[in-house]
Amino acid sequence: MTTDVATTAVPPRPATPSREPVRSARREGWRRRAPLLPALVFAILVTQIPFLVTLWYSLNSWNLVRPGSERFVGLSNYADVFADRVFRQAAFNTIVITAGCVIVAMLLGVGLALLLDRRFVGRSVVRTLIITPFLIMPVAGALVWKTTMLDPLFGIVNFVLSPFGAGDYDWTSSAPLVSVIAALVWQWTPFMALLVLAGLQSQGRDVLEAGQIDGAGAVRMFRSITLPHLRRYIELGVLLGAIYVVNTFDQIYIMTQGGPGTASANLPFYIYQRAFLGFDVGQAAAMGVVVVIGTIVVATLALRLLFRSFAQEDR
């Protein structure tokens, strides 16, 4: 909607054949663009240039602890990456963690939002309690989960589950992915709940009242009025949540170190290991490039959705 404004703002004067209007139009164009440039240049310098360098590194064999080991090897890093069993496992774990966290957090978030979207005593207090996990520093949250919550001997979780015969179950080593996802769900449910709650509160009262007058039951009302209205908010939550959760590093670093073995390593953590513990620049870079390509595919779809959301908002 914005592009037509830009083109019509500079009135074309067909009667004057001189170059003056062209030049002033160009000057006007630059005046409009100028405030945008610092941010653009900064973003390009800090994000795009390093990525181009990553592309170059991915074509080289280079180990940081062996100075002078750098040499051009073409695509062989990529061949190694795809042959790497751990890489495939890390990719799979990334999908499990992201999908598991986003789906569970969204389901809980919708439930919580429905509960919060009523008038009751202490509503704002409960809302404050619920958003807190999202504000806690992820490293701090992960440490709390690993120690006081999930510790086999002194953890609260096993204490609560002891009537059900949980015993001394060692969560972070016996069920590392479940543990990581639990901590992530705890962190991201408030985010989902807040977004969905905003959606619920933007519902037109008149539609709901009309539904009630027509004698629609609560379930029917939810399915045919509320849910379609919420769709946009749920999509937005899933998308933004996924962007962040795909890059999860803190919880894995703190709670499992990717282990036992590589059972709970996701791609960010595995690449970190290869780059900063294995010092294998070429391989780490190649993995980074593969991750970016995967992300681009998903992101293109996601962005289209996001723009649709914003376009509706602009109207």
Partner 1 sequence: MTTAAVAVTGPRRRSAALLTVLTWIIGIVFFFPVLWMVITAFKHEADAYTDPPSLIFTPTLEQFRALFDAGAWPYFLNSLFATTMSTLLVLLLAVPAAYALAIRPVKKTQDVLFFFISTKMLPVVAVIVPIYVIAGRIGALDNIWTLVVLYTAMNLPIAVWMMRSFLQEIPAEVLEAAAMDGASLRQTLLRVMLPMVAPGLAATALICVIFSWNEFFFSVNLTASQAATVPLFLVGFMTSEGLYWAQLAAAATLASLPVVLAGWVAQKQLVRGLSMGAIK
Number of Cβ atoms within 10 Å of the Cβ of 294: 15
Q: Sign of the C-alpha dihedral, residues 246, 185, 239, 42?
A: negative
Binding track over 157-196 against partner 1, x by CB under 8 A: --x--------------------------x--xxx--xx-
Binding track over 106-135 against partner 1, x by CB under 8 A: ------x--xxxxxxxx--xxxxxxxxxxx
**Binding test (CB under 8 A) with partner 1, winner from 57, 78, 87, 171:** 57
Least Å from the CB of residue 33 to partner 1: 5
In angstroms, rounded to a whole number, what is the distance separating the alpha carbons of residues 111 and 81? 41
Q: Does 78 bind partner 1 (CB under 8 A)?
A: no
Q: Does 87 bind partner 1 (CB under 8 A)?
A: no
Least Å from the CB of residue 206 to partner 1: 11
Q: Does 285 bind partner 1 (CB under 8 A)?
A: yes
Residue identified by tokens 């970190």 is 272
E strand or H helix at 60, and its extent? strand 60-61
Q: Which is nearer to partner 1, 100 or 270 (CB)?
A: 270
Least Å from the CB of residue 208 to partner 1: 6
Least Å from the CB of residue 202 to partner 1: 8
Q: Does 284 bind partner 1 (CB under 8 A)?
A: yes
Q: Does 6 bind partner 1 (CB under 8 A)?
A: yes
Residue identified by tokens 């009537």 is 163
In angstroms, rounded to a whole number, what is the distance separating the alpha carbons of residues 43 and 22? 30
Least Å from the CB of residue 226 to partner 1: 10
**Secondary-structure percent of the chain, ordered helix, strand, coil, rounded to 5:** 75, 0, 20
**CA-closest candidate to residue 199, choices 225, 223, 224, 234:** 234
Q: Which is nearer to partner 1, 15 or 289 (CB)?
A: 289
Least Å from the CB of residue 14 to partner 1: 21
Number of Cβ atoms within 10 Å of the Cβ of 164: 7
Q: Which is nearer to partner 1, 85 or 119 (CB)?
A: 119
**Binding test (CB under 8 A) with partner 1, winner from 81, 97, 105, 149:** 149
Phi, psi of 63 (to 5 degrees): -110, 125
Burial of 54 (0-12, 13-18, 19+ CB in 10 A): middle
In angstroms, rounded to a whole number, what is the distance separating the alpha carbons of residues 207 and 219? 15
Where in 219-278 is the site for partner 1 (CB under 8 A)?
A: 233, 236, 240, 243, 246-247, 249-250, 253-254, 267-268, 271-272, 275-276
Residue identified by tokens 């404050």 is 128
